[in-house]
């Protein structure tokens, strides 16, 4: 019976397969096989033993490993014994000189490597969606908001471009940390490689070469968890960006704003009691699951604070941190792409909200033009502020308050005021910024 929502509600098969029991066993067997091949190549174990071990690994079954573990209560030794059963007389050379975490940490590195490949692909797809939306809406003028209050105009294209740039930085960070987070080790019980003798460094390098990853430069019984913490923090940072995007979508989808809306299926139900509801449930799911991923940062940071050459407090914790973080991060990246691809826009509401304050939010444009025409910037600010207060209190349009102001009329005609207060004329270089960024990001892989 399924208990955890990842089993039946959240996550995609591709990422789940990286962290399931079968894959975990497969990676551990791959490490044992690579170790045997490296040792045979360096004449540390008899020639041909590695071939029997390689063949035996293909016949190891998860059920048998679990049965052995139930008897001996040691996960790695259960794998070793199950592999030995399938490797004839070469079984005595399996795991020779290694400690459990040589196998476990190196297998984890292989899983993290596979996870990063998926996460990078999906994050790059999200970046492409944002670039597409930025170009599509580069001229969609809307109300900018600061402190939750309507300010001067911006464009939806610029919003999407800002998000695309942030996602691009996450991709850059992921590329930078990959080499640090995906290293393996064969350093033995406390890191000295004593059981491997003078060939320890060669055995470690050869093993990692076979597996296609780098060897840790130095380690004790485990790979130091600052490497893993950096990866978990990357996931937390990335989902926080998605949280921010989806908070904005939820805000803009409020009934009284209603500028955008998540797609809503013909048979979709919004509420069990309010039939009219069209709730932003996908965005809310992103925001909710982002909290879980962020919560993984503290445990993984603490997993680096182990006793001496290591203790076991990280082990149980990481059985949860790694799969949950990877599965949920992948899930919300994909979900955010879907939300954005299918986002509905309501131009009439976008324009209505832009004009909601009867021109009060266009005061900066007047202030700047007055300053250009000889009025001091501070004086111009005070003149426009007084006009704004007057317009707000009397309920008239800001344009009329400005026209009635004697000082303003000395410098600006009615036609100039009207033109300056047109939101479409006050978006600065927003379009150019979008086009420039899109041109840069389209070249990225």
Active-site residue list: 147, 271
CA atoms within 13 A on the CB side of 199: 16
Label residue 413 left, alpha or beta by phi (over 0 means left) and psi (-120 to 50 means alpha): beta
Closest CA to 156 of 263, 51, 245: 245
Instruction: Tell me how crowded residue 216 is: count the other CB atoms within 10 A of its CB.
Output: 22
**What's the CA gap between 299 and 279, in Å, rounded?**
33
DSSP-derived secondary structure for 213-270: SEEPSS-SSS--THHHHHHHHHHHHHHHHHHHHHHHHHHHTSTTT-SEE----TT--S
**What's the CA gap between 213 and 101, in Å, rounded?**
16
Q: What are phi and psi of 343, to 5 degrees?
A: -65, 130
Question: Tokens 């599965």 map to which residue?
Answer: 327
């Amino acid at each position: 019976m399924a208990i955890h929502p990842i089993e039946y509600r959240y996550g995609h098969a591709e990422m789940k397969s990286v962290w399931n029991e079968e894959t975990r066993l497969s990676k551990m067997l791959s490490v044992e096989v690579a170790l045997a091949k490296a040792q045979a190549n360096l004449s540390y174990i008899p020639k041909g033993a590695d071939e029997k071990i390689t063949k035996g690994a293909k016949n190891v079954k998860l059920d048998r490993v679990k049965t052995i573990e139930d008897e001996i209560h040691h996960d790695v030794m259960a794998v070793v014994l199950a592999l030995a059963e399938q490797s004839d007389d070469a079984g005595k050379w399996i795991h020779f000189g290694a400690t459990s975490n040589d196998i476990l940490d190196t297998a984890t590195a292989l899983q993290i490597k596979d996870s990063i490949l998926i996460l990078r692909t999906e994050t790059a797809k999200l970046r492409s969606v944002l670039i597409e939306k930025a170009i599509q809406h580069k001229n969609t003028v809307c109300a900018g908001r600061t402190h939750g209050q309507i300010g001067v105009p911006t464009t939806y294209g610029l919003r999407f471009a800002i998000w695309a740039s942030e996602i691009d930085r996450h991709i850059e960070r992921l590329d930078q940390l990959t080499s640090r987070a995906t290293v393996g080790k064969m350093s033995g019980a406390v890191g000295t490689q004593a059981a491997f003798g003078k060939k320890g460094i060669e055995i470690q390098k050869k093993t990692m070469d076979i597996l296609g990853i780098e060897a840790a430069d130095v380690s004790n019984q485990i790979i130091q968890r600052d490497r893993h913490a950096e990866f978990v923090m990357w996931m937390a940072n990335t989902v926080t960006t998605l949280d921010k995007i989806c908070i904005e979508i939820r805000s803009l989808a409020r009934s009284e704003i209603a500028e955008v809306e998540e797609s809503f299926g013909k048979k979709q139900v919004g509420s069990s009691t309010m039939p009219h509801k069209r709730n932003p449930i996908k965005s809310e799911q992103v925001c909710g699951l982002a909290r879980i991923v962020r919560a993984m940062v503290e445990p993984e940071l603490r997993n680096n604070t182990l006793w001496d050459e290591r203790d076991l407090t990280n082990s149980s914790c990481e059985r949860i941190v790694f799969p949950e973080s990877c599965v949920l991060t992948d899930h919300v990246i994909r979900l955010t792409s879907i939300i954005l691809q299918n986002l509905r826009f309501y131009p009439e509401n976008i324009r209505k909200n832009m004009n909601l304050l009867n021109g009060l939010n266009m005061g900066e444009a007047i202030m700047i033009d007055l300053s250009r025409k000889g009025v001091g910037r501070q004086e111009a600010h005070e003149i426009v502020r007084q006009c704004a207060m007057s317009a707000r209190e009397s309920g008239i349009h800001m344009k009329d308050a400005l026209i009635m102001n004697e000082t303003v009329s000395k410098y600006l005609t009615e036609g100039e005021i009207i033109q300056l207060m047109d939101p479409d004329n006050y978006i600065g270089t927003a379009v150019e910024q979008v086009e420039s960024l899109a041109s840069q990001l389209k070249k990225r892989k």
